[in-house]
Chains A and B, each alone.
Chain A
Amino acid sequence: MTTTTFPRLLLSHAAERPAAAALREKEFGIWQTLSWSALATLVRELAGGLAQAGLQRGQHLVVVGENRPRLYAAMLAAQSLGAIPVPLYQDAAAAEFVFPLVNAEVAFAIVEDQEQVDKLIEVRAQCPALARIWFDDPRGLRHYAEPGLAPLDTLIDEGRAFDAQHPTRFDEAVAQTQPADVAAMFFTSGTTGYPKGVVHTHASLIDRAQAGASFDKLTNAEEVLAYLPPAWVGQNIFSYAQWLACGYVVNCPESASTVSIDLNEIGPTYYFAPPRIFEGLLTTVMIRMEDAGRIKKWLFQHYMALARRIGPPLMDGKPVSFVDRLRYALGTVLIYGPLRNTLGFSRVRVAYTAGEAIGPDLFSFYRSIGINLKQLYGSTETAVFVCLQPDHEARADTVGVPIEGVEIKLSDTGEVLVKSTGLLREYYKNPAATREVLTADGWYHTGDAGFLDAGGHLKIIDRAKDVGRLMGGAFDQAMFAPKYVENKLKFFAFIKEAVAFGDQREKVCTFINIDMEAVGNWAEKRNLPYAGYTDLAQKPEVYALIRDCVEKVNADLAADAMLAGSQISRFLILHKELDADDGELTRTRKVRRGFIAERYQVLVDALYGGKTSQYIETQVKFEDGRSGMVSAELKIEDAKTFAAVGRAA
């Protein structure tokens, strides 16, 4: 059990390696570097300012923005005072701020820029407690007369003065903060109802961070690029908890539009991203290769084939013939090396993906070109690290073995239960919910259905509550795992999102979102003209393309006795892309199946009602907050299903 806290970790780094880089941010064209000692000073000053402003031990401080060094410092500052930083998603709509702010009685907020300030001001009436707002980037804010609004610099200046008057305050406060104290609160954008504040202590976060670090032998020499929302526990663990635990360097991109450039410059050694990021990268790789000359194309295809054959065994440390090793080495010079370089992965030692199931092709692509991509299993409530895949044992369909400090067992319903030193303390002000997931004897109900395979690797099928049963029809009482089906669909580059229905029904039907980039390209190659998403989605050619994918999935499902019943009999392609702004996806882009089922009731009925088409009209929100209507006559098509292979009678 750990005996330290985040502020103490900071101070020890500052003491041991004062000049070493702690944070870098690309600003004004170069990587501006903040050393550990400089960071410590900054934190000290911020803490002073916050203390003077009246931030009390145990109070919450909201932090909203991209990954910016000074926002990280702000979180540390709060923790130094024993207060609790609450990172919120910077891309959330203003209304989504209300609940967290009210629920956590937030009085102080430190935000990135005008955009966030505007949102807070918008909801201020609903959050009377919110007294002070500090902003990092003053652009466009100079004429704001909002009470309690001030630039972060003034907070720092005040803090410097305060610290001069009370030189011991800071260190006392840090000493006073105990490992068992609450370190941070993360609001899980729950798939239904209000978000829940997941409360973590210094101990739980640091313990998991260290467990993960020792599992992969991370050192303070790692380079990490922080480009995902800091409010997401995943980013937070990798670029905050483990950053402080290991003392490596966290790099912040210049702007959202330069992430790929910055990734390329930094060349991280330790990398974490949800599958969709890797998917996006792969798609762009393929699309860019399309325009290559014949020789290059041939080289690429030839060596990728070789990689598919030799790469995985090499990665898994299996014996490979000398000749093959030579050929692979040549491939590394000609293709893999350059490819890794252009992707920005030349230096990656360990890369993780999590949060969603990852397609086997996608997964093995990265491993086969020599990137040590692995999967892990965890959630906000478990401080991420529950199961990790050891090097040489990475599979697309498992999520790895329980690591140090973790026990796993399956409930009789097949739900995965976890006991670990990294479990949440509680859901903030929500004992009922806490009781639901946390048993008295300290087991956490993950809500995932799964099982441990022969090798002791955990395999997740779906959310336990979503695993349903078919009623009547050919596969009466057969098990139905919607997520599993959806993922299988989404593994096709052409399909961006899918929503499967079938619980308590006689057959499985799905909504599908095509991937605009991939299908768009596909259409252009067949010079198939189209006007925007809705039009493209309804092209017969596209339907044919998608049906093909669906039937491949069916064939696949049919092969597995347990899941044969989940084959898709009917599908339609939605007229709009599912969007978090419309509440159809969570901020982490998980589909909210229930919400969607309600919102598109007519479509569901049409699917099961056997109609061949259905008119629909939907209101949508645009980036700039305006809203409009999208309407279309949606085709509905049947897909071939297969008899289950060797299905038990």
Chain B
Amino acid sequence: MLYRENGQFKSSYRSDQQIFPILQDRIAMVALLVLAVVIVPLIASPYLLTAIFIPFLILALAALGLNILVGYCGQISLGTGAFMAVGAYAAYNVQTRIDGMPLIASLLFGGLASTVLGVLFGVPSLRIKGLYLAVATLAAQFFVDWACLRLGWVTNGSSSGSVSVAGLNVLGLPIESPVQKYLFALVFLAVFALLAKNLVRGAIGREWMAIRDMDVAAAVIGIRPVYAKLTAFAVSSFIVGVAGGLWGFIHLGSWEPAAFNIDRSFQLLFMVIIGGLGSIMGSFFGAAFIVVLPIILDGLPYWFGIPIDTATASHLTFMIFGALIVFFLIVEPHGIARLWSTAKEKLRLWPFPH
């Protein structure tokens, strides 16, 4: 309905292949950015920022990373939490051991560390198919959980593996107030989202999807499964690692291994499923959905004046998540993102149904 595409013809491949080929979408995108960069910091309360926006941004980033592996390359991972942990602790180590280490550098280093582990545990996936990989990644999960608890040097000697960071700053600008943290996370998300989008719409992205959709055919046209899968693992765990660093540094400030346990892994997987496998946009939807839903679920009873104890509430949350996962897998395997794109299609064709 809102689309007016007449006259938006493309006279170069570059313009035809841009991320948002339709003018109206570009406008919407700019509007969204303005909203995120200007409006939100102005109006959102510190609570909203710390309880919803910052977690959303960081988890969206993690989900984005996971989506590249699961959604685009079709390789399942149940150990995302572990890779976040590696990112966080590696970043922590360089940050604390090397003084004057710039924040961004240590976060990226965290990403690299996580990449190494990702590739390491990805190697089995080259010989084995989907299910086994799930186990391999679980192995990573448990191993890392253990390492963070038991290996002193990982946590810089702190018992129980709990660590904390302070006095974060980028080039002297402090990253302490919720707004600063929010913007910091936002920038990371925006940049990585762009890079990821470029990858998935480029040659390597097509390789990933080819492997996902029909690996034999992919091999026959000269795609090396090994290379495709490993790059997916590397890119994925890098992004996840960085997200882990942000989660620790920006969101938590001080954390212990439990922050990245297997439940985190599942949570991220659910984000990707509900948000939309194989869609950058979907990672955002999923993160938003799963960050907000529990808050609503906790809130609802009180708003309706039927208070239920937190235990029951959390059980309900479990059940609802479980049900939703199954629901989406059956009804809309491509998640909210697909719903979104269908809606968009309808808008473009309006008033026609198809």
Contacts and interface: CB of A to CB of B under 8 A. Distances in A.
Q: Do A and B assemble together?
A: yes
Contact of B353 (A292, A333, A344): A292
A266 B7 CA distance: 4
Given A31-B10, A266-B7, A344-B6, 17 more contacts: A30-B16, A33-B11, A264-B5, A265-B6, A267-B6, A285-B352, A292-B353, A300-B351, A333-B1, A334-B1, A337-B4, A340-B6, A341-B4, A341-B6, A345-B6, A346-B7, A347-B7
Given A24-B11, A29-B16, A31-B9, A288 B353 contact: yes
Nearest to B12: A30
A340 to B, nearest CB: 8
B6 A347 contact: yes
B349 A32 contact: no
Interface in A266-325: 266-267, 285, 288-289, 291-293, 296, 299-300
Contact of B351 (A24, A30, A299): A299
Interface in B328-352: 349-352
Contacts of B6: 264-267, 340-341, 344-347
Given A264-B5, A265-B8, A266-B6, A338 B13 contact: no
B153 interface: no
Interface string A120-158: 000000000000000000000000000000000000000
Contacts of B3: 338, 341
Q: Classify chain B's interface size.
A: 10 to 19
Nearest to A303: B351
A6 to B, nearest CB: 26
A223 B6 CA distance: 11
A3 to B, nearest CB: 35
Contacts of A333: 1
Contacts of A29: 13, 16
A266 B12 CA distance: 14
A334 B351 CA distance: 8
A335 B13 CA distance: 32
B351 A335 contact: yes
A252 to B, nearest CB: 12
Interface core residue of B3, B9, B10 (most chain A CB under 10 Å): B9
Nearest to B13: A30
A273 to B, nearest CB: 16
A340 B350 CA distance: 11
A27 to B, nearest CB: 11
Interface string A158-181: 000000000000000000000000
A289 B350 CA distance: 10
A342 interface: yes
A339 interface: yes
A226 to B, nearest CB: 15
Contacts of A341: 3-6
A20 to B, nearest CB: 13
A30 B11 contact: yes
A342 B349 contact: yes
Interface string A570-585: 0000000000000000
20 contacts: A29-B16, A265-B5, A265-B6, A265-B9, A265-B10, A266-B6, A267-B7, A267-B9, A285-B352, A289-B351, A292-B352, A296-B353, A299-B351, A300-B351, A337-B4, A338-B350, A338-B351, A342-B349, A342-B351, A347-B6
A341 B353 CA distance: 15
B11 A32 contact: yes
Contacts of B315: none
B97 interface: no
A150 B271 CA distance: 62
Contacts of B7: 223, 265-267, 346-347
B127 to A, nearest CB: 40
Nearest to A288: B352
Contacts of A33: 11
Q: Top 10 nearest A-B pairs by Cβ distance? A: A267-B6, A267-B7, A346-B6, A265-B9, A31-B11, A288-B352, A292-B353, A338-B350, A291-B353, A31-B9
A372 B103 CA distance: 62
A293 B353 contact: yes
Interface in B1-55: 1, 3-13, 16
Contacts of A337: 4
Interface in B217-243: none
Nearest to A287: B352
Contacts of A291: 353-354
A334 B353 CA distance: 14
Interface in B111-139: none
Contacts of A292: 351-353
Contacts of A26: 9
Interface string A89-108: 00000000000000000000
Nearest to B350: A338
Given A291-B353, A292-B352, A293-B353, A30 B10 contact: yes
Contacts of B349: 342
Interface in A28-46: 29-33
A608 B28 CA distance: 68
Given A30-B16, A334-B1, A266 B350 contact: no
Interface in B295-349: 349
Contacts of B12: 30
Given A24-B11, A31-B11, A339 B351 contact: yes
Contacts of B16: 29-30
